[in-house]
Amino acid sequence: MSDIQNLFIRLRGYMFSILALFAIGWGVTPYKTIFLSLIMGAAFSFYMLWTMVRSQQKLAKALKEGKKLRSLGTFTRFAIALLAVVIAVEYPELFDPIVVLLGLMTVYIVIVIDYLIQILRNK
């Protein structure tokens, strides 16, 4: 298995755990809007991670075959983030747009934490 696949498997586990914590928070606390916004942002963030890994795999395959890759999917990730914010703005009784943006950053926070964990493990 390639390094990117191993990384994705680790990050996927972390993201599912975080989504489960957000779901528990939504279910047991009175802060329904906050946790629902975090759930939506983190879910869209997880989808952006998946598209990022998929484009990285396409890039590796293209480099191996000596071909050029048209795009790395940056526009797609921007569109996903915009869609999440548009949904939050459209339904303010369910979602808080600022918290959705925080949820969208979840995967990047998880990547940094995973990186730090890997550095500590390899020492």
Render pLDDT for 78-112 as a digit per residue (tens, 0 to 9): 999 999 999 999 999 999 999 999 999 999 999 99
Q: Checking phi first, is residue 95 left (phi over 0); if not, alpha (psi -120 to 50) or beta?
A: beta
Q: How many CA atoms lie within 13 A of 104 on its CB side?
A: 18
Nearest by Cα to 81 from 89, 71, 93? 89
Q: What angle (nearest 5°) sits at the alpha carbon of residue 71, between those of residues 67 and 74?
A: 155
For 62-87, what is the mean pLDDT?
A: 87
Instruction: Reply yes or no on whether the pLDDT at 1 is more than 70.
Output: no
- The whole-model pTM stands at 0.87
Q: Mean pLDDT for the chain?
A: 92
Query: Look-up: residue for tokens 């369910």?
Result: 94
Residue 71 is encoded by which pair of tokens?
């795009």
Instruction: Reply yes or no on whether the pLDDT at 32 is more than 90.
Output: yes
Nearest by Cα to 117 from 1, 2, 5, 13? 13
Nearest by Cα to 41 from 92, 109, 105? 105
Burial class of residue 26 in the structure, from the number of CB atoms within 10 Å of its CB (0-12 exposed, 13-18 middle, 19+ buried): middle
